[in-house]
Each structure stands twice: as structure tokens, then as C-alpha cells.
Structure 1
Amino acid sequence: MSVYWGQNSYGATHSDVANFQKPLAFYCQDDAIDVVPVAFLDVFFGPGNVPSINLANTCNSADNATFAGTNLPICTSVGTDIKACQAKGKIVTLSLGGAGGSVGFSSDSQAQTLADTIWNIFLGGSSPTRPFGDAVLDGVDLDIEGGSGTGYVAFINRLRTHTDAASKKYYFTAAPQCPFPDASLGSVLDAASFDAVYVQFYNNVCGLQNFNLAQDWNFGLWDFWARNTSPNKDVKIYIGAPASSTAAGTGYQTIDTLTNIAVTMRKSFPSFGGVMMWDASQAFANSRYDLAVKNALSAAGGTGFTFPACSAPAFMSGTNYQGGSKVSFGGYIWQAKFFASSTPVNTPNGEWSAISACTGSPPTSSSSAPPSGPTGGSCASVAAWSSTSVYTGGQQVAYGGHLWTAKWWTQGDTPGGSAGVWTDNGACSANKVQKQESEGMRLLQ
């Protein structure tokens, strides 16, 4: 369980002072949280060319002391809390960026300069300007939600030259949005080594609210990336979730629903690492949402990962599959997002969604392949296309002497038209009623 602390998300949306963000150590008193990213270092190069941090109602009052010539606050009390959390076995990292951060690099050399600075003032280096005193954080997290990926690979690589030479273990994480690839961090994730990726499955169509929709839920995309593209093939993917209904615009789920989703992903994908929540203040005010989910996950039991069998029928080239059909191919079980005919490939806009990793030989019987319906010849049993009817992926119509299959939801898009939502299954002969309906529709149009 990784839970962000620092931004007083609850206080930003409520007037209930009793539940405003509490000191960091307060949230480390039990076993709910394992990792705490401290958020955020939101200015890379401030006065004196020194970064600055924003911890909302902590160390940010107008009269809070700063280091001379900088906007970097002196937060020794947070340093004390960091050490208290670490003494309880918690990992405490520094998160860079945030939604409103003034961050980004113009060059690799600028990024390397900041890496040296971060090492010296927050990690294992030395500097007279250490905001958390002698507390040594356990790593860095990139929550970069705008701008390009310029410099971030150089930043991580330079910082690793310091951490790899240290006796202490350091961790590198990132928190991309769930649309794949992430707009700001996509190229960075492909080129730099991370230990964990906290995918934000909220505020997007690929969020937790659409878990049951294969065309939207894309944890399988992230698993495929982790195991095939990431420089660190052991990188773990976390389900990022809002800790209450006021923590994000969309994506919040009940304790039981989030637990069920997490357990399903844990049993389905070897890259699953845990749950990330935004944020500690929201979780505490929401009846200890973090602890409830952690307890539920613990009660579900199980450690490690055992590949499930490839139980779906083997994909058969040249077959037309209806939306919702499942096949086994290339070490995954796939579900058709809509009408599908191409080979399953893990791409954001492809026809298939990977719903589980798998192992073993799948069934190969042609009788197990989902029926595709008529593919030409006679389409006497197929209704004529209607401009007013709603069609979903896999439904078939007769139009212009051809059989057509909808790729996804559509209404009013003519088969063969520029919208490209219909697949032409070839010429077919319609019965008399269909011909009359088709002719009547043309006259109406």
C-alpha cells in the first residue's frame, strides 16, 4: 500500500478542520501504509537555482523560515517524522511534480544538475540546505502531469550513479495517468529503470469506474509494457485509486469493489505490485479507507504469482470474433473490445484487451471459436441497416448488397462510409423484405 502525503487533499475540499492533514508520523502508526511519497517538490529551479517544496498546511505558513536566498522551507519537524516512519519499516520517498508544479527540463545537463542537488539536499549527499535535516529519504517519485519527457531519463540515470554506489537501498517510482502511453512520462518509462509505477486509474476513461469494460480498462497494457518494454522487467504496477469520493473526479470505488479488482489483478498479472492511494488525508477522513482495503487484501491471502492456464480457445487467424469473445494468444487471454479479426496485439487502440497472463496450451478445437455469423452468400436472416437504429460491436446488417459487421457502438454511420465503423464481410443476397426495407430507407434519406 502506497499512500501520498503532503497536499492536504481533504482540507482542500472540506471545511472540517478536525480532518485536515495531520503530521506525517500520524499516518505511520499502524500497518496500513507501506510506502509514503511526500508530495510535492513542485519547483525545480527557484531563487538561488534551488528547488522548493509545497506541503500544503505543513511548513508552508507565511512566517515559516526558509534558507537564505531561496524559497526552500526549513522543515525539521517533517524530518523527525520521516525518521519515525522509517523506524516502523515504512519507505518514505520524495515526489516531484504534481498537477500544478513548475517543473521540467530544457536539457539533459540541466536535469543532471537537479539530480545532484536532490541527492545532496534530500537523499544521501550533504548540503547546508537540507529542509528535512539529517533525515535521508528512500528515493524519488515522478508525478509529472504536464510538459514533455525531456531530461527525465538523464535525471534518473544521474541520480542512480549516486544511489547505486550507496550502501542504502533507494527506490525509483513514477505515477503516470492510465491512458497508454502516458503523455509526459511514456518515453521516460521506456528508457529509465523504475522499481514501481503507480498508474493513476482515475480521472480518465480507463479508470476503475470502467473496470468491467474491456475496451476501457487497460491494466493488461501496463503489464505487457512491464514485462516486455521496461528496462527493469521486474517493475511492479500499482493500481492508483482515489481514497474517497472527493479525492478525484472519477474512479472512486467502495472498499469491496476496489479489493475485488486488486485481487483479480493480483491473480491475473505477474507485474501487479499493490495499491496506491491519493491521499492520506482523504483516506483517514473516509473511515480509514486505506486500512480497510489493506486488511481486506491481507485477508484475501496469497503471495507470489502463479500463472493461470490459457483456458480460452486459441486465436484462429481468419476468424471474425464478436465483441466480448475471449481467445488465448502469446501468453495472454484476450477479450475482443468489439468486432475483431486481427491478431491480438497489446496496443491502446487495438481490437483486443489483455485480461490475464496465462500459460500452457489452449484449446484448439475450431468448434470452440465464437461464431461470426454469415460472411457472405445469403444474408436472408440479417436485418437491413437502419439509420435510426443503435448497433453495438459485433452486430450485423445487410446494406447495398453486402453483409456488414459493426466494430463498436454506432448510430447513423452508413456502412462503407467515412466513419469506418463497419467491416465489409462481402457480397450477399438479401430477401425481398430486406430489399424493400433498404429501398424505403434510401427514399427516406
Structure 2
Amino acid sequence: MDRIRRRRTGAVAGTLTALALAVTGLFAGGTGTAAADTRAVPQHAVTGYWQNFDNGAQVQKLGDVQDDYDIIAVAFADATGTPGQVTFNLDSAGLGGYTVDQFKADIKAKQAAGKSVIISVGGEKGAVAVDDAASASAFADSVYALMREYGFDGVDIDLENGLDSTYMTQALKSLAGKAGSGLVLTMAPQTIDMQSPSNEYFKTALAVKDILTVVNMQYYNSGSMLGCDGKVYSQGTVDFLTGLACIQLENGLAPSQVGIGVPASPQAAGGGYVFPDVVNNALDCLAKGTGCGSFKPSKTYPDIRGAMTWSTNWDAGAGSAWSKAVGPHVHDLP
């Protein structure tokens, strides 16, 4: 997610060809072990990114975030001059004079209503490098400091400019040791990052699956990609959502650790928008085997976590049509 709208150029055909052999034949049929669940995260959850900036979407205070969202990811933390270290700067001016005290109070109110509020690190322009032991330590220490200062429940990893699985794993394990079992840990990789379990992002997710809440891959701004059957699917279709989710579901992540990330409105992304009913059909296909397109998984995954959107602000600007449709559907999954 970026501060203008949402990112990334389409994947080229050559990349798909190179990945085809990696995707086909990967699957051993296992779905991994379930994650240790965290405080306030329901079995089926909706994640939404809240924008700490004004980019043309509807400006919201955190307290304005729609009630259908179970996990609210505050976008974004800012890098400092120290490698791996992050901080948070509330855009009070851009948000109409929203104060830090009001922001902290709104976090507490959302938590009292059973929501989780986490700090997101990254976005298209968020260059945070965790590539050695020192930066891993700086990352864990600084995120934990933000959790204590603001009351965040955890962290979202939305790094779109490269990721070192060895040191990001080290950082997240260290953070979990500080924060304890209540840590909410989410990830929002791009589609290309989750095409194979040998990719650095995927390797990180698998390495921290004992503390991982959900991976909400971004099923947009990518162009066509490979599904788990080795076929190419076009973004903006139910097959794209189900065929790509299958890769994660059959390569080590528990169904409860897999979510579908989509734009809340056509204006929220450069491509890949789908109507809310397509999201609901994809969830039904994965959870119950109904609503599928041409691709139908060989099994169902009733514990699939749910869905994510960029952003609560774009959703609000469209009359909250996305959360009103997808939220109740996610919460009614078996």
C-alpha cells in the first residue's frame, strides 16, 4: 500500500514461466499446524488498513473505523536513521488536528470493543531494512517500544522492497519474546512473494508460523499469476483469489493463517479490484467448496481466516460497501 494509492507493476510473462516449475508439483497435501491464537482475534477475521495520511481517500480518525473490522493496521510506521529501527509519527495536521492523546484513546476504545490495533511496517515506499543481527534487534526493540507507547497489539509486515528471511525471523521471534503470547502478527506480501515457499517472504511466514496470526496477501496490482495447479490466472477473478490462496494453504500455512487481501474500491489500487461478492465467493469456495470458478480446490479449508482490504478510508469513501458485504460474510463462515 502506498501513500498515493496502491502499487506495483504487473508481473511479466517471463517471470511466470520461470516460476511454473516451482509451483507445479510443490504440494505434499499438508496444511501446517494451527497458529497459537491471540487475544481479540476471532476465528474468522476482517483486517483493514487505516491511513495515517490524506491521499484523497476519506480522512478518518481511528475511532471512525467501521465496526466490521477485527484487526486494524495503522499505516505506517516510519524508518529512522538507524537500520531496522522504526518510529510512528501521527499526521495530526493531515488528519484535521487529530491529537496523539485522542489517537491513543481511540486505540483503547477499539480494543475494549474486541478489536486488535497493530502498527504496519512498510508500504510501497517504506524502506525498512532488517538484514543483519543489529538491525533485527533494532526492529524488535523499536516495535516493542511503539507497542508500549501507543498500546498496539502487534505488528504487520508489509515490506515491498525485499525481505531477508533469516533476520526478519530473528526480529519477529525476539519481538514475540518481549510481547508474549498476545502478540498479533500479520503480513501483507505481494503475490510474487508467495508463489513458492522458497521465496524469502514465504520462508519468513513458515519460520514464524507458531506466532503468526494471518498472511493477507495482496491479490492486486500484480497482473496475471500462477495458481497452485500451475495454470495462469488473471487478477480480478475468483480463480485468481482461490488459485493463489491454494499455494499457501498447501505449502505449510494453516488455513487460519491465510486471508484474502483486496482493494476496497476501484480507486484504491491500480488494478485487481473485485466486487465484494467475488471475495465472498472465493471464501466460500475455499471454506465450503461452493461459489468456485473454473478452479476448485481438491479439499476445503473451513478454518480460512478471512479477508483484508486497503483501506478503511477508501471503504468509507465508497459508503463502506466493502465492509458491509464482506464483514458479515466472513463472520458467518463455518
Q: So what's the TM-score if we normalise by structure 2?
A: 0.69
Partner residue of 1:113 out of 122, 138, 154: 138
**What is the distance in 2 between the residues matched to 1:141 and 1:213?**
24
Partner residue of 1:53 out of 85, 88, 91: 88
Letter in 1 for 2:147: L
Question: Alignment RMSD, CA only?
Answer: 3.1
Q: CA deviation digits over 1:344-377, x for unaligned, max 9?
A: xxxxxxxxxxxxxxxxxxxxxxxxxxxxxxxxxx
**What is the distance in 1 between the residues matched to 2:84 and 2:239?**
48
Residue 255 of structure 1, CA deviation: 2.5
Cross-structure match for 1:427? none
**What is the distance in 1 between the residues matched to 2:269 and 2:217?**
14
Residue 203 of structure 1, CA deviation: 1.1
Q: CA deviation digits over 1:397-440, x for unaligned, max 9?
A: xxxxxxxxxxxxxxxxxxxxxxxxxxxxxxxxxxxxxxxxxxxx
- Does 1:238 find its partner at 2:259? yes
Contact (CA 8 Å) 2:169, 2:208: kept in 1 or not? yes
Identity %: 24
- Does 1:200 find its partner at 2:237? no
Letter in 1 for 2:92: C
Cross-structure match for 1:263? 284
Q: Secondary structure at the match of 1:209?
A: coil
Q: Secondary structure at the match of 2:50?
A: coil
Cross-structure match for 1:151? 167
270 and 178 in structure 1: CA distance in 2 versus 1, 3 angstrom threshold: farther
Cross-structure match for 1:209? 236
Superposition pairs for residues 285-434 of structure 1, below 5 Å?
285-294=317-326, 297=329, 301-303=332-334
Residue 235 of structure 1, CA deviation: 4.5
Partner residue of 2:309 out of 253, 261, 277: 277
**What is the distance in 2 between the residues matched to 1:274 and 1:75?**
31
Letter in 2 for 1:33: Y
Moved more, 103-112 or 203-212: 203-212
Residue 243 of structure 1, CA deviation: 0.1
**Unaligned regions of 5+ residues in structure 1, if any?**
65-72, 125-129, 304-445
- Higher relative helix content: 2
Q: What is the total number of aligned residue pairs between the two structures? A: 263
Letter in 2 for 1:59: S
**What is the distance in 1 between the residues matched to 2:286 and 2:62?**
30
Partner residue of 2:250 out of 187, 206, 224: 224
Contact (CA 8 Å) 1:255, 1:293: kept in 2 or not? yes
**What is the distance in 1 between the residues matched to 2:317 and 2:108?**
25
Residue 5 of structure 1, CA deviation: 0.4
Letter in 1 for 2:63: A
Contact (CA 8 Å) 2:156, 2:187: kept in 1 or not? yes
220 and 26 in structure 1: CA distance in 2 versus 1, 3 angstrom threshold: same
Contact (CA 8 Å) 1:146, 1:184: kept in 2 or not? no
103 and 281 in structure 1: CA distance in 2 versus 1, 3 angstrom threshold: same
Partner residue of 2:72 out of 27, 33, 36: 36
- Does 1:188 find its partner at 2:204? yes
Superposition pairs for residues 12-27 of structure 1, below 5 Å?
12=55, 14=56, 20-27=58-65
**What is the distance in 2 between the residues matched to 1:88 and 1:171?**
16
Q: Secondary structure at the match of 1:3?
A: strand
Q: Secondary structure at the match of 2:283?
A: helix
**What is the distance in 1 between the residues matched to 2:85 and 2:134?**
15
**What is the distance in 2 between the residues matched to 1:146 and 1:47?**
18
Q: So what's the TM-score if we normalise by structure 1?
A: 0.53
- Does 1:122 find its partner at 2:158? no
Residue 33 of structure 1, CA deviation: 1.0
Residue 110 of structure 1, CA deviation: 2.1
Q: Secondary structure at the match of 1:217?
A: helix
Cross-structure match for 1:334? none
Q: CA deviation digits over 1:1-32, x for unaligned, max 9?
A: 11100245xx52x4xxxx6321000115x3x1
- Does 1:172 find its partner at 2:198? no
Partner residue of 2:272 out of 251, 261, 265: 251
- Does 1:3 find its partner at 2:48? yes
**What is the distance in 2 between the residues matched to 1:181 and 1:26?**
38
Residue 285 of structure 1, CA deviation: 1.0
Residue 123 of structure 1, CA deviation: 2.1
Q: Secondary structure at the match of 1:80?
A: helix
203 and 184 in structure 1: CA distance in 2 versus 1, 3 angstrom threshold: farther
The higher radius of gyration belongs to 1
Question: Following superposition, which runs of at least 4 residues in structure 1 exceed 4 angstroms of deviation?
Answer: 47-50
The one of the two structures with greater contact order (alpha-carbon pairs below 8 A, sep at least 6) is: 2
Letter in 1 for 2:49: Y
220 and 80 in structure 1: CA distance in 2 versus 1, 3 angstrom threshold: same
298 and 217 in structure 1: CA distance in 2 versus 1, 3 angstrom threshold: closer
